[in-house]
Amino acid sequence: MASHSRRRPLRERRTALVLAVAVAAVGVLLSLVMALRPDSEPNAVRAAAEPAAGNRSSAPAATPAQKAKPSPKQKQKPKPKPSKASPTPTATTPSARPSPTGPPRSSPRPASGTAPLAGRIQPQATYKGVATHYDAADGDGACLYGPSPDLMVAAMNHTDYETSKACGAHILVRAANGASVTVRITNECPLPCAPGQLDLSKEAFAKLAGLSAGRIPITWSLLSPSTSDTVSIRYKTGSSRHWCGIQALGHRNPLARLEVKTGSGWSRLTRTEYNYFLSPGGTGCGGALRLTDIYGEQLTVDGITIRPDAVQPTRVQFARH
């Protein structure tokens, strides 16, 4: 028996072939459409389109958002924790300032407040130096205060004397053996007295050591003493309304400024090495005065007439610190 043939008729084969070609064409067309879409570009195609690593100058610049976005492989550095700021000490040389051994001069203890107008000698600081002694006679000296009621006085070294700014300062002096004495600055110890050095009256030096010692190591600091006295004013010899020199005496704290009242306000006078404030043209002579201590406290004095060489008391005094 003859077997049935497995071949399909020619018309059927042609139809199947046309369908196959059509399906293949649709597939190719879909592949081309997908290939041309930027968001579906195959990795291989994108890699071939990108410039080489050494030729990126023509590549478009990255946007800020792209720059800010870290790479998945890059570890972000932890943000540093804020640290408490600490004051930076001011560097000084031994020849420019006495060496403080207590609180730094830039950080006075808040209990006594600050002294914005202080010069070289700062409150709440302890200075190192040496003590020598001299014959103080009646206690007068370069500050031109006149005879002292006691001889617990001292001459400040030239550097720390600071154009008479140390005049009238009360200083607590301590020796290595524990002895101490309080003196008032009424004089200047000229060079070669070194910064930190005090030349004490013989009477004051004897409170610390025998006079035969001659020179001993000390520490010293500024005081704001208790007192019932008030400030006094004195005009210098030759003063008039055309020229005058004015001096303050008996102030509890070191004096920083002396001003005279003028028609346009207060005028600051220049301080001399002999502890008088001068008005060369007579401005403010015989008028109201304003005194300012190193802590910034101001005292106004009225009614002081020009009476050369006369000590005229006031009713005011600086506060204790």
For residue range 52-88, what is the model confidence (pLDDT) as tens digits?
A: 333 333 333 444 334 333 333 333 333 333 333 333 3
The H or E element containing residue 160 is helix 158-161
Residue-range domains of the chain with CATH:
110-223 (2.40.40.10), 232-313 (2.60.40.760)
Cis peptide before 192 (omega within 30 of 0): yes
Are the beta carbons of 278 and 197 closer than 8 angstroms? no
For residue 319, pLDDT beyond 80:
yes
In the predicted model, what is the mean pLDDT of residues 196-213? Answer: 98
More confident residue, 2 or 25: 25
For residue 214, pLDDT beyond 90:
yes
Note the pTM of the prediction, 2 decimals.
0.66
Sign of the alpha-carbon dihedral angle for 197, 148, 291, 190: negative
Confidence of residue 101 (pLDDT cuts 50, 70, 90): very low
- Find all residues with CB under 8 Å of 215, minimum gap 6, and list them: 130, 131, 132
For residue 278, pLDDT beyond 60:
yes
Instruction: Return the structure tokens found at 73.
Output: 């492989």
Q: How many whole angstroms separate alpha carbon 305 and alpha carbon 240?
A: 10
With H, G, I as helix, E, B as strand and everything else as coil, classify residue 174.
Answer: strand
Burial, 83: exposed, middle or buried (Cβ in 10 Å; 0-12, 13-18, 19+)? exposed
Q: How many whole angstroms separate alpha carbon 248 and alpha carbon 271?
A: 11
CA 134 to chain centroid, in Å, comes to 38
Q: Give me the count of residues in the chain.
A: 321
In the predicted model, what is the mean pLDDT of residues 286-295? Answer: 98
